[in-house]
Amino acid sequence: MMKEKGNIMVKNIENLYSLTFVNKEDKELLKQLYKWQISEDEKEKMSCAWVPEKHTEDFDEEKFEKFYQRMQNRLYSEINYAFLKNNKTNKYLGFASYQNRNHRNYSIEISYYFPKENRRKGYGKLLLSLFLDTMFNFQKMNLNKIYAETYEGNIGSVKLLEHFGFQIDGRMREHYWFENGKIKYDQLIYSLLRREWERRIV
């Protein structure tokens, strides 16, 4: 079952979990996102771009307000977040996001994140199952392709994408550098076409 209300879409699996798209004014969800960001100590594994040195920050209300204002400007126009929620505990487990929407070839790029305590528990398959089904069935977007990027050393992410039928389109050689270049990984580019998803769920 899928319900659409304003800018929030929800889809349930036996009412145990729900997927909720973030509203611009939903400060509590954005606060959760901010807390995950400042506490993550493996940021360099999530982007090929430079990131500040690893550290954990305490929550700071003033810094959060600045983050909140930035996110309000970015939401919908640049990026959208969908949080996976456990409806029994009312806790948010992680999120998927989409960005780089292309109105010409009807594609989006996706990413996903879980804090450490929620990894290796099967939530990734649950989240992507809900998220992909929601996006491919969102008639206003009429998507033909969903793509994602990850580095070849992220075995969990590679297996997750391949589990859902994503095909590898190419690689950017030695695109991820760790330990000042002592360790290098290729970045992998995966995509899933609508017809491939539809064949999978029939």
Give the CATH number of the domain where residue 50 resides.
3.40.630.30
Number of domains in the chain: 1
- Burial annotation 62-71 (CB, 10 A radius, 16+ → b, else e): eebeebbeeb
Average pLDDT of the residues in 19-30: 94
Residues sharing a CB contact under 8 Å with residue 48, sequence separation 6 or more, in sequence order: 151, 175, 176, 177, 187
Please report which confidence band the pLDDT of residue 12 belongs to, taking 50, 70 and 90 as the band edges.
Answer: low
Q: CB-based contacts of 6: which residues, under 8 Å, 6+ apart?
A: 23
Q: What is the tens place of the pLDDT at every residue in 130-159?
A: 999 999 999 899 999 999 999 999 999 999
Convert the pLDDT of each residue in 50-76 to its tens digit.
776 666 778 999 999 999 999 999 999
Structure confidence at residue 99 (pLDDT): 96
| pLDDT at res. 4 | 39
Residues 2 and 21: beta-carbon distance below 8 Å = no
d(CA 94, CA 115): 7
How many CB atoms are closer than 10 A to CB 197? 21
Mean pLDDT of 166-175: 97
Q: Provide mean pLDDT across the span 4-32.
A: 75
What per-residue confidence (pLDDT) applies to 84? 97
| Cβ atoms of 30 and 80 closer than 8 Å | no
Q: Look up the domain containing 25 and give its range.
A: 2-201
What percent of the chain stands above pLDDT 90? 80
pLDDT reported for residue 46? 86
Q: What is the pLDDT of residue 54?
A: 62
The residue that leads in pLDDT, 202 or 59, is 59
Per residue in 82-133, pLDDT tens? 999 999 999 999 999 999 999 999 999 999 999 999 999 999 999 999 999 9
Q: What global pTM score does this model have?
A: 0.88
Residue-level pLDDT at 202: 57
